[in-house]
Amino acid sequence: MKGNLLKIEKAALVLLEALLLGCAVTFAMEWIALGDPQAALDWCLASLPPFCLTAVLYGAAALFLGLLTSRLWIGALTVSAVGTALALVSYFKFAINGTPLEVEDFGMIGQMNQVMGVAGDLTVPGFAWAAMGMLALLTLFFFLLKKKLPLGTGRTRFVLLSVELALGLALVVGPGASAMGQAFSVNTEDRIMSTVAYRDYGLTLGLWRDACLLANRAPENYSAEYMDSIVKRLDEILGPSQSAADPQKQPNVIFILSESFYDITRLPGLTLSADPAENYHRLSKEGISGRFYTGYLGYGTGYIEQSIFSGLTGKDLKPGTNICFRDPGDYSLLDSIVTPFKTAGYETELLHSYNSSLYNRTVTYPRIGFDHLLFSAQMQALDLNIQGSPYAGGYYLSDHVFTQALLNRLDAANADGKKAFLFGISMENHQPFNPEKFGYKCQIGVTSDELDQDDLAITKVMLEGLTRADQALGELTDALRERKEPTIVVFFGDHRPNLFMTDGDTVYSHLGLCDGNDCSNWSIDQVADLYSTNYLIWANDAALLKEPAGTKQDTGLTALGPAVLNAADMPRTRYWAMQDRLSKALLVNTDLYCVTADGNPYWNVSSASLTDEDRELMKLRDAIVYDTYYGQHYVTDRMNQPVGS
């Protein structure tokens, strides 16, 4: 009896040690995230239920590995390494763009070197080394004990491993995950933006709830008959299909994503010696322009592209889904905005002034309708008469060379008797914004009472990149004025750069536009402001525009695609007619915020000013998205047909 009690006491001690390790790992991760041990302790005490659940998860994982190896220190070493690695990756991601690590980011793991390369120099901070040192000392303590786990061998250990494995699976699948989340005060029902989930629950539970708790739920009464009724109701709302346009009158389309472009003259507190967006402002008087409400700040270019092409955002997909790394077949289930151009015989090409390594473009772009993909090397092989180095500001093609490549491909398609649909991605204004990026040169002078000389040096790099992007836009449109072929240019910035100053804050917080870098602390107006850039639709024949020259009209992530189809008089499928109708109500709708067509931002659509028909249409769209990507494809083919067919 005494021997059994001793074994129980030792077993309880090991369990306590595992729990202690879990607490230490959880605390260390918050230390790395918040940069201060006192702030980490305050979070642990203020968020006690999520802290305890996270500690149990890491402690259980260490115990499981300890049971497998008979050494708890091995479990401690592994769990500590995993926890600190996740925290460091999240720290670096937050340093780049102000958002923590998300499940969707794991789709980019194979491209981590490329991501780090375009982000600039990243170093592990001193407080992170201190947090990791604490875990190393704890692991060393377990190692020095060199104690076998006193939980028996053979059958006993197998039973214990099986029980722990079963409990672990219960946290991943089935009702166990939801029940556990609710027991520890974790919201398991609603979608929450990553920064809020991270703040309330910590990184680990934020990832866990997205990966295991939330899912796209089937519509009530989901069936073939139900989806047939959805299509019939859509046709009633959308009305008759548009008539086909004359193919001879359809224009070329040059669609340009200008990396991090926005109208910097919108920033307060900067005094500029000249207008860095001179061409954008001049062309806006000839075309249609306004704000472009995007879904990201500081990064996410590939995700933004996919949203524009497909009309989907991450909110439409299962939480944690990387929109660029889904099953390859998903990208061709519904027509993209490229599809009608390809069907009409256009030459459809992507031009990207970096290489093909990021965002899975070589897989997804052919499936959404592009005939050819040209990256930096392929563009340099064109007959462009490049003078000097083709690069500017690092390893990206200059916007000047990029513009010459666009014109080259336009002329080649037209010479073959084809129209061209070109989607170009310029990169000269991409981060990193190191002061030496452009050789310390800036064409436009800038002063500010809010920024010191070191911060001004960083700001000048962004200013020079924006100026060069604007000059390339002017160069392109000037060349198109000399061409007889009717051509529409759609130009927009994908997101603002999250321009960090020397103290770790951004230029936006320094200029008083927001409080700190964590958008979970911003007002809805601040989010809408900083999550917006600028766009322009211009044509070398004013008759091509659907609105009077000089029209100011905001657009957004899922509204720009329908605008491109309308500008080019492309026939619309039932799906894109639905998207077009919704764009008259919502410009963008993400997990973070939404903006209605009148330019008013809201945290979510439930509080947005929408008509009953708008809300009904959103419900119908949800059913279509579920049926297409998670259901039985009852009506997917019909969504690729005209309204009423």
- In sequence order, the β-bridge partners of residue 425 are 257, 352
Closest by Cα among 437, 451, 430 to 505: 451
**Can you tell me the distance from the alpha carbon of 14 to that of 6, in angstroms, rounded to the nearest whole number?**
12
pLDDT bucket at 185, cuts 50 / 70 / 90: confident
Residue of 101, 195, 104, 192 whose CA lies nearest to 603: 192
All structural domains of the chain, each given as residue ranges with its CATH number in brackets, are 2-213 (no CATH), 222-242+578-645 (no CATH), 244-571 (3.40.720.10)
Residue 344: which of 570, 46, 108 has the closest Cα? Answer: 570
Only one residue has tokens 């202690």, namely: 20
* More confident position, 520 or 27: 27
Decide if 262 contacts 461 (C-beta within 8 A).
no
The CA distance from 88 to 83, in Å, is 9
CB 407 within 8 A of CB 254: no
The SS3 assignment for 78 reads helix
Measured in degrees and rounded to the nearest 5, phi and psi for residue 420 equal -120, 135
Task: Look at residue 216 and tell me whether its pLDDT is greater than 80.
Answer: no
> Of 252, 571, 249, whose CA–CA distance to 418 is shortest?
252
Model pTM above 0.95: no
Kindly report the backbone phi and psi dihedral angles of residue 397, in degrees, each rounded to the nearest multiple of 5, phi listed first: -60, 145
Tokens describing residue 4: 């059994």
- CA neighbours within 13 Å on the CB side: how many for 424? 35
At 107, is the pLDDT very low, low, confident or very high (cuts 50, 70, 90)? low
Please tell me whether residue 79 adopts helix, strand or coil conformation: helix
pLDDT for 639 equals: 97
Dump pLDDT digits (tens) for 570-587. 999 999 999 999 999 999
H or E, element range at 421:
strand 420-426
Residue 108 burial (C-beta neighbours within 10 Å; 0-12, 13-18, 19+): middle
Pick from 15-19, 32-36, 374-378, 616-620: least confident: 15-19
Query: Dihedral, CA atoms, 254, 259, 263, 268, nearest 10 degrees?
Result: 170
Residue type, 438: F
Comparison of pLDDT for 66 and 170, the residue scoring more: 66
Helix-, strand-, coil-residue percentages of the chain, each rounded to 5: 55, 10, 35
DSSP assignments along 111-177, one per residue: GHHHHHHHH------HHHHHHHHHHHHHHHHHHHHTPBPSS-STHHHHHHHHHHHHHHHHTTSSHHH
In sequence order, the β-bridge partners of residue 289 are: 536, 552
CB 545 within 8 A of CB 285: no
What are 327-379's pLDDT values in tens digits?
999 999 999 999 999 999 999 999 999 999 889 999 999 999 999 999 999 99
pLDDT tops 90 at residue 68:
no
Residue 386 is predicted with a pLDDT of 85
Question: Torsions phi, psi of 170, nearest 5?
Answer: -65, -25
User: Using alpha carbons only, how large is the chain's radius of gyration in Å?
Assistant: 27
- The helix (H) or strand (E) run that includes residue 362 is helix 361-367
| Distance, CA of 539 to chain centre | 30
pLDDT given for residue 255 in this prediction: 97
pLDDT computed for residue 312 by the predictor: 96
Whether the per-residue pLDDT at 2 is higher than 60: the answer is no
